[in-house]
Amino acid sequence: MKRLQVYLIVFIGLFSVVNLSAQSDKQKQLEQRRQAILQEIKQINSLLFQTKKEEKSVLSQVEDINHRISATENLIRITNQQANLLTRNINNNMNRISSLREELEIMKADYAEMVRKSYKSKNQQSRIMFLLSSESFLQAYKRVQYMKQYAAFRKKQGVEIGNKTQELQELNNELLAQKKDKQKLIDENTAAKNQLIKEKKAQEALMATLRKDESKYTTQIRQKQKEADKIDKEIDKLIKAAIAEANRKKEKESKSVSTPTTSGGFKLTAEDKALAANFSNNKGKLPWPLEKGMVVKSFGTHRHPQFPNVTTTSSGVEIATEDNAPVRAIFEGNVMSIQLIKGANKVVFIQHGDYISVYSNLATVSVKTGDKVTTKQTIGTVAKSPTAGRTILKFYIYRNNTKINPADWIYRM
């Protein structure tokens, strides 16, 4: 019966070990996500809240604080998951400790019984009598083997008891460490919640300002969208013209080019096709156009967070960065065009086969049309908006003259 108890306890222990291993992997994943969010908050504070002295529009202030609130809420959610997982780990450890204690008690009882029996027959005379009472040489041999095995088993039991005792001590130490980790997470979560309360109060104060003159701010948003649409149309027009010019040049230089797509895309040489294929193979792995930055406006059409009746559309992504931040090419290619567009400052177009990356709102440009560029090569610096009080790069990716979502192509955008 005792043996059955031991086997049952061992089985439960093995199951607990496998479960703890899976939870440990989950804990590591959550910690990685938590660290990523902490880094995101650090970037938000660095890029969007650099100096309080700078004048920003109320809309820009609301947008900035929304980013920080969203990141803080994510941090609280992940930290809660970590704390809950640690609670499960602690409970599992406590169950494991209880099982080990039961197992240890059974082993100790077995060992005590063996010691007692051994003590009764420990004198040499009784051992000799045990052997001499054998009915045959074979029986005597078997009794010698039995005594050896019995002694070895006693030794093994003693070692196992020592190992179980050590395992129990280690689990107790681990349990104490987990309880400290959990308390640390609870304390951090409390601090994050307090910070969130402050952020939401500040947000509400700003929103009260917006609500006082809602029509004024919705007009500003729509006007800003019209200006963005105008810039996008100009970029579309310039891309179509650049594609047409590139195709004309290729026709003059060589007849060994493919026909353009029905939508009026590039005529590609074998070299262009190879470059386009290489670009396509790196989808989701391309580097950011800035060494340090965060997306403040994503690709596509969205309802405005403060005014649900107003929608905004972005043909690319807007990335906030540091003042005078260097802009870099996301992939090797050729500088197809450099243009000065009203409201967008300088714009650089880089061709990668039948793909084009576009870098808008540059203050300076360090390349020229026709240059070959390499991945991560600096092509200029970002301009700062005097009205928004932020340094923003507007970044686009096209395939021929069709816009595509940069977040699908840039690593972890």
Q: What is the DSSP letter of 390?
A: S
Among residues 65, 73, 71, the alpha carbon closest in space to that of 209 is found at 65
Burial of 334 (0-12, 13-18, 19+ CB in 10 A): middle
Grouped pLDDT means (10 residues each) for the chain, 413 residues: 51 54 82 93 86 68 91 95 90 81 77 66 57 74 73 72 78 85 93 94 91 90 94 96 90 67 80 96 97 94 88 95 96 97 95 97 97 98 79 96 97 92
> Which tokens go with 111?
């060992």
Calculate helix-pair angle for 58-120, 214-253, nearest 10 degrees: 80
Number of H helices, E strands in the chain: 6, 12
Q: Could you tell me the CA-to-CA distances from 205 to 65, 67, 71, 307 in Å, in that order?
A: 11, 16, 20, 16
Among residues 50, 69, 42, the alpha carbon closest in space to that of 305 is found at 69
* Radius of gyration from C-alpha coordinates of the chain: 36
The model carries a pTM of 0.73
Per the CB < 8 A criterion, the answer to whether 326 and 381 are in contact is: yes
pLDDT value of residue 255: 59
- Distance (Å, whole) CA 393 – CA 375: 18
Torsion-angle region of 394 (φ positive above 0: left; ψ -120 to 50: alpha; else: beta): beta
Give the three-class secondary structure for 318.
Answer: strand
Three-point CA angle 87, 93, 94, nearest 5° = 90
What residues have CB less than 8 Å from 237, skipping those under 6 apart? Answer: none
What residues have CB less than 8 Å from 52, skipping those under 6 apart? Answer: none
Three-point CA angle 158, 174, 185, nearest 5° = 170
pLDDT value of residue 364: 97
Residue whose token pair is 């809660």: 80
Stretch(es) of the chain classified as CATH 2.70.70.10 = 218-408
Residue 397 bridge partners (DSSP): 357, 404
Burial of 303 (0-12, 13-18, 19+ CB in 10 A): exposed
User: Class of 218-408 per CATH?
Assistant: mainly beta
Per the CB < 8 A criterion, the answer to whether 345 and 312 are in contact is: no
* CA torsion, ordered 312, 385, 233, 298, to nearest 10 deg: -40
To which H or E segment does residue 54 belong?
A: none
Q: How many residues does the chain have?
A: 413
What residues have CB less than 8 Å from 51, skipping those under 6 apart? Answer: none
